[in-house]
Amino acid sequence: MNFYVIIIMVGILLLITLILIVIDKLLGSSGERTITINEDTVIPADGDESVLSNLAKHNIFVPSACGGKATCGACKVRLYEGGGSLKPTEEPFISKEERAQNYRLACQVKVRENIKVKLPTSLLHIKEYKTLVTHIEDLTYDIKLIRLQLLDPDTIDFKPGQYVQLKVPGIEIERAYSIASNPKDKNIIELIVRMVPHGEATTFVHRALEVGDKVYITGPFGDFYLREETNREMICIAGGSGKAPIRSILMYLKDRGMKRKVKYFFGARTKKDLYYTEEFKKLQEEFPNFEYIPALSEPLPEDEWDGEVGLITDVVDRFTGDLSDAEAYLCGSPGMINACLKVLGKHNIKDENIFYDKF
Ligand SMILES: Cc1cc2nc3c(=O)[nH]c(=O)nc-3n(C[C@H](O)[C@H](O)[C@H](O)COP(=O)(O)OP(=O)(O)OC[C@H]3O[C@@H](n4cnc5c(N)ncnc54)[C@H](O)[C@@H]3O)c2cc1C
Ligand code: FES
């Protein structure tokens, strides 16, 4: 009797499995699909994975600063065909106009059907680099400099201000880090990484990464970079690890004789949050066109600080005249950047001359 019950139960289970497989095929939720890129390249795609990861498997790297968590919006692409309807996670990043043109977040769209996508040609040149960690240095109590030597490919071209994505081994997440080094050093990438409590990537970098380790990066990404078609006066504002891309921009300008007038404001809380002060003071001594203005918002008595004091927005306001023919490069927390945008607006800067990365 028991034997027959077992046979019947196994039969029922097999039937249910068969029905699920048929439903799966009918709904097209998995299996082999294709992605057509710019109407000319067709790649096979796994129906259970996103457009973002399917493209990455074929060495096409769409920016994905949050690693596919739908919090950065960097992976926005235009689909010509397929993709289904917009998900609630995508809504905050897709405007009405973009929705009409079927812009989507590549990390949120699974390839349930064949998809056609339009990608800027610049993205097709982005590569993955195997790198060797050659130097790790404490810049402050919570900020580290990481130097990576490129192994394969062994050179990179980037514009000063752009970023790369670092792959965290083991958990295979990716995070964006601005390049802090000189674009002329094509075999080296320096990153400035600030510890975020309980952060996955920063805990790895601060607690586990060692000289001699090999890590992978992709890039270069981003439209925050030095505009070279003008000789406009520049105002740079940074806080925390936002110093990274501005450092790369300044190294580049230095190599070209610092022809542009540059004022660089760096906001920190106390003296222990300052770093590379000597490097920028030296640059100031070398080039009369360059002025470095670090400011502390909450200096301690033991800091014996005789520099500027106050919120960086107030300091910028005090030191700035008319900016109607100037360019601004800002990098720091969203709160700092939003506040700075208001102050710069007061000094007549044109919106199209402001460039920033918020993180
Ligand atoms: C274009 C771009 C360039 C960037 N460049 C740099 C750079 O040069 N140096 C650098 O240090 N970082 C940079 N970042 C931020 C970086 O990509 C990571 O977001 C950051 O290092 C945190 O990663 P995590 O995995 O440690 O934290 P996660 O595990 O992603 O986050 C852990 C928790 O911390 C919160 N959190 C995340 N980031 C912050 C933050 N900055 N402050 C406070 N809370 C936070 C999250 O909401 C979450 O709750 C950049 C980001 C972008 C988009
Ligand atoms: S990768 Fe950040 S939203 Fe898609």
Q: Residue 136: which of 206, 217, 202, 240 has the closest Cα?
A: 206
Per-residue pLDDT of the chain (359 residues; tens, 9 = 90+): 577 777 887 778 777 777 766 555 555 555 689 999 999 999 999 999 999 999 999 999 999 988 888 998 999 999 999 999 999 999 999 999 999 999 999 999 999 999 999 999 889 889 999 999 999 999 999 999 999 999 999 999 999 999 999 999 988 789 999 999 999 999 999 999 999 999 999 999 999 999 999 999 999 999 999 999 999 999 999 999 999 999 999 999 999 999 999 999 999 999 999 999 999 999 999 999 999 999 999 999 999 999 999 999 999 999 999 999 999 999 999 999 999 999 999 999 999 999 999 99
Atom of ligand 1 nearest to the CA of 194: 11
Select 126-221's CATH number: 3.40.50.2300, 3.40.1160.10, 3.40.50.720, 2.40.30.10. Answer: 2.40.30.10
Q: Could you tell me where in the chain the CATH 2.40.30.10 domains are found?
A: 126-221
Atom of ligand 2 nearest to the CA of 69: 2
Select 32-123's CATH number: 2.40.420.20, 3.10.20.30, 2.60.40.10, 2.70.40.10. Answer: 3.10.20.30
**Ligand approaching nearest to the C-alpha of 332:** 1
Q: Could you tell me where in the chain the CATH 3.10.20.30 domains are found?
A: 32-123
Evaluated on CA atoms 132, 137, 138, 144, the torsion sign reads negative
Q: Could you tell me where in the chain the CATH 3.40.50.80 domains are found?
A: 233-358
Alpha helices in 126-192 (DSSP H): none
Chain centre distance of CA 322: 31
Cα 15 to averaged position of ligand 1 atoms, centre (Å): 48
> What is the rounded CA–CA span in Å between residue 231 and residue 234?
9
Taken as a whole, the chain contains a residue count of 359
Element (H, E) at 4: helix 2-27
The ligand 2 site (C-beta within 6 Å) comprises: 64-66, 68-75, 105, 107
The DSSP symbol for 31 reads S
Q: Residue 46: which of 62, 61, 60, 58 has the closest Cα?
A: 58
The CATH fold of domain 233-358:
Rossmann fold (3.40.50)
